[in-house]
Amino acid sequence: MEYEISYLPIRPDSLKTNTTVGCDIYLLTRTMAEVRFVLYCKRDAVFDEAKKEMLVVQKIKSLFIKKEEQPAFFDYLENNFQHIVSDTNIPSDERTKIVHRAATNLVKDLFADPSTGNIERIKAFAHNMVDYVIEDSKAAESLLKIAVHEYDSYTHAVNVVAIGTLFGQKLGLGPKGLKGLCAGILLHDVGKTKISTDILNKKGKLTEGEFGIVKKHPELGVEILEETGIEFKEELIITLQHHENDDGSGYPYGLKKDEIHPCGKIARILDVYDALTANRSYRDAVRPFDALKEMKYGMLNCFDIDLFKKFICFFGPYDLREKKGKSDRLQN
C-alpha cells in the first residue's frame, strides 16, 4: 500500500531504555477496515521501561519510523552502538544489519561533509566495529556475508571496510592495527571530496588533465586528515598509498615492493576489489569471483602476490563455495 512505503520497520530491541530516539516512533495497527500508523513515542520523549515492557507484553516485533527520518534514527543507532552489539536478545544477524545500516549513514555524512566531527565519528565507529568483530565470531561471519552479496552503491564503502577488517584479522593484526586499518579504509578516499563531481562521475574515459587531478586525491586526503589530527599512522598511510602498485607503476610516488607499507598493500587490493564490484558511472559492477579473476589475470602487477593469494584464500569459504575448486585454481 502506498502509505506504507513512507514508513520503515525497526526492531524494538534496537531502542535503549531511558534515551530519546530523536525521531517519532509508530505502532502499526490493523482492523478489518483499515491499516494505520499510530504515534507511540515522540521524538523528544524518553523511551522508558514502561514503554519497553508494553512492547514485550503485547509481543510487538516491529516498530516504525517515517522514511525521511531514517538519518536521525541511524544517528541514534551510532550513538548507542555498544548497547546494540552487546544485547544478546537481538539475533547476531539482526545486530549486524543494524550496525551495517548505521555505518552506511556515517559514510554518507563523511563524504557530504569531511569535517573534524565526522572524521572523529569515523574513528569511533572503527574502534567499535573492531571490538565487535573480535568479540563475536558469528557477527563477523554475518557481516562478511552482507559484504559479499550486497551491491548498493551507498553501502559499498561499508562492505569493503567489513572485508578489510576481517581480512586483517585473518592476517593476524592485533586490535590496534585493526582499528587503524578499519579507520584508514573508511577514510582513504576522503581527498575526493575536494575534486569536482563532474570529473569523478564522468561517463567515459578521463582526459589526461582530468586524470591528473584525480591522482591528487591521496595527497589531498592526507591534508584533510592532518588538519583534523590523527591517532593511528595507518590512517595516513592507507590514504596516501592505496594507489601504489607493487611494480612501481602506481601513484602518487611510484613506490614499489617493500617501499609500500603492509597496510598500503592491503588497501591496494581492497581498493581494486571495491572498484570492480561496485556500480560506477563508467562501468557496471561484477560479481566477487569475476573481480578476483580480473585482478589475477589483468592487474597482478598491482599487488603483493603472496598477500593477494591470502586474499583469495580468505574469500573461499564465503563467496566461492558454490564454485568448488575455482578458488584453488585462482591461487595457482
pLDDT of 280 = 66
Report the share of the chain in percent with pLDDT over 70.
86
C-alpha cell read off for 44: 523528544
Res. 322: pLDDT tops 50: no
pLDDT of 320 = 43
C-alpha cell read off for 21: 530516539
Task: Give every CB contact of residue 219 below 8 A, 6+ residues apart in sequence.
Answer: 191, 240, 252
pLDDT of 153 = 46
Which tens digit of pLDDT belongs to each residue from 159-179?
778 888 889 999 999 998 999
308: exposed, middle or buried (Cβ count in 10 Å: 0-12, 13-18, 19+): buried
What is the arithmetic mean of pLDDT over 264-291? 83
Question: What number does CATH give the domain 80-331?
Answer: 1.10.3210.10
Question: How many whole angstroms separate alpha carbon 301 and alpha carbon 15?
Answer: 49
Contact assessment for residue 193 and residue 223, using Cβ atoms and an 8 Å cutoff: no
Structural domain boundaries of the chain?
Answer: 1-69, 80-331
Amino acid, single-letter form, for residue 116: T
Which tens digit of pLDDT belongs to each residue from 21-34?
999 999 998 877 78
What is the arithmetic mean of pLDDT over 249-259? 96
Q: Per-residue confidence at 314, pLDDT binned at 50, 70, 90?
A: confident
